[in-house]
């Protein structure tokens, strides 16, 4: 039975502190909250006062949507598979054999780096990633997880006796006539 190495999901807290969209959402909620108290303290309350609670509600809706989206997908890393658990009401489970992973890319902005957050993109010969890479967004400790994944991929390839070959196609010139 495969040994469970790591279980993780996209981080809502990481998204809040490690992205401009997260900072904007927090700012929207703070302005909405403080503005609501300020507007209520004004006598008479202006017709524009409803804008502040609207900002607070909009920020809360954005945060709730992000949180539910992050709850909907969990990644489980074993010694031979990356397993994707998707869904809240309707669940699906998909697995990528580690030895089939061809490339792991990590992207992060300056803000992401400060929050130790990143986006991991995985390309493999598995049907899951045949059309497009699997993208894991807002992953905490992304660099460490990527390195751990690379080590597990190499170990899985050794166990199965699989080697990765890069095929290079060199275009030959037109035959001389």
Give me the pLDDT at residue 34, please.
96
Give me the pLDDT at residue 42, please.
84
Q: What residues form DSSP beta bridges with 84?
A: 75, 94
For residue 167, pLDDT over 80 is answered with: no
Q: What is the mean pLDDT of the chain?
A: 91
Residue 58, CA distances (Å) to 27, 28, 36, 81 in order: 11, 8, 13, 39
Closest CA to 119 of 97, 145, 93: 145
Above pLDDT 70, what percent of the chain? 92
Give me the pLDDT at residue 168, please.
64
Give me the pLDDT at residue 169, please.
61
For residue 60, pLDDT over 70 is answered with: yes
Determine the topology of domain 5-9+74-160 in CATH.
PH-domain like (2.30.29)
Give me the pLDDT at residue 174, please.
58
0.85 exceeded by pTM: no
Higher pLDDT, 162 or 102: 102
Which whole number is the average pLDDT over 55-80?
A: 97
pLDDT tens figures, 119-156? 999 999 988 888 899 999 999 999 999 999 999 999 99
Which whole number is the average pLDDT over 168-174?
A: 60
Above pLDDT 90, what percent of the chain? 77
Q: Where are the domains of the chain?
A: 5-9+74-160, 12-68
Helix, strand, or coil here: 46? coil
Name the band, by pLDDT with cuts 50, 70 and 90, for residue 46: confident
Q: Find where tokens 């037109």 sit.
A: 174
Give me the pLDDT at residue 128, please.
82
- 131-166 per-residue burial string, b: 16 or more CB within 10 A, e: under 16: eebbebbbbbbbeebbeebeebbeebbeeeeeeeee
Give me the pLDDT at residue 18, please.
94
Give me the pLDDT at residue 47, please.
81
Residue 71, CA distances (Å) to 15, 133, 140, 147 in order: 13, 21, 15, 24
Give me the pLDDT at residue 3, please.
87
């Amino acid at each position: 039975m495969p040994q469970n190495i790591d279980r993780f999901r996209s981080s809502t807290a990481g998204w809040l502190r490690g992205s401009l969209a997260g900072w904007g959402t927090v700012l929207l909620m703070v302005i909405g909250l403080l503005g609501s108290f300020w507007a209520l303290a004004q006598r008479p309350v202006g017709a524009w006062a409803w804008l502040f609670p609207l900002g607070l509600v909009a920020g809360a809706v954005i945060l709730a949507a992000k949180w539910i989206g992050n709850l909907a997908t969990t990644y489980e890393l074993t010694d031979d598979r990356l397993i994707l658990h998707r869904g809240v009401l309707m669940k699906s489970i998909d697995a990528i054999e580690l030895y089939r992973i061809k490339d792991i890319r990590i992207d992060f902005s300056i803000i992401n780096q400060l929050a130790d957050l990143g986006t991991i993109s995985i390309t493999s010969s598995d049907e899951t990633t045949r059309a497009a890479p699997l993208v894991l967004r807002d992953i905490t400790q992304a660099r460490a997880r990527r390195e751990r994944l690379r080590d597990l991929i190499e170990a899985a390839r050794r166990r199965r006796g699989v080697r990765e070959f890069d095929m290079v196609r060199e275009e030959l010139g037109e035959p001389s006539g």
